[in-house]
Amino acid sequence: MSIVNNVTRLLDSRKILYTTYELSTEKRGAQETASLLNVDPASIFKTIVVLRDKPKKPLLVLVSGDSVVDLKLLASSLGEKKVHLPTEKEAEQITGLQAGGISPLALLNKGFQVVIDSSAQNFEQIHISGGQRGLNIKLPVADLVALTKAQVESVSKPESAME
| Residue 26, pLDDT score | 74
Does residue 46 lie in a domain region?
yes
| Residue 142, pLDDT score | 97
Instruction: Locate all alpha helices (DSSP H) within the chain, ordered by sequence.
Output: 6-13, 30-37, 71-78, 88-95, 141-148
| Residue 161, pLDDT score | 61
- Sheet with 59-64, side-by-side order of all strands: 83-84, 45-52, 59-64, 113-117, 151-153
| Residue 54, pLDDT score | 75
Chunk the chain into consecutive blocks of 10 residues (it has 163) and report each block's average pLDDT, rounded to whole numbers.
83 95 81 88 94 84 94 94 93 92 93 95 95 92 96 91 54
Does residue 147 lie in a domain region?
yes
| Residue 95, pLDDT score | 94
Instruction: Locate all alpha helices (DSSP H) within 81-121, ordered by sequence.
Output: 88-95
Measured CA to CA, the distance from residue 55 to residue 124 in angstroms comes to: 34
Domain residue limits at 140? 6-157
The one-letter amino acid at 162: M
Does residue 56 lie in a domain region?
yes
| Residue 33, pLDDT score | 87
Which value, in Å, is the radius of gyration of the alpha carbons in the chain? 15
- Number of domains the chain is built from: 1
DSSP 98: -
Does residue 163 lie in a domain region?
no
| Residue 113, pLDDT score | 94
CB 103, CB 130: distance < 8 Å: yes
Does residue 31 lie in a domain region?
yes
User: In CATH, what number is assigned to the domain containing residue 109?
Assistant: 3.90.960.10
| Residue 163, pLDDT score | 46
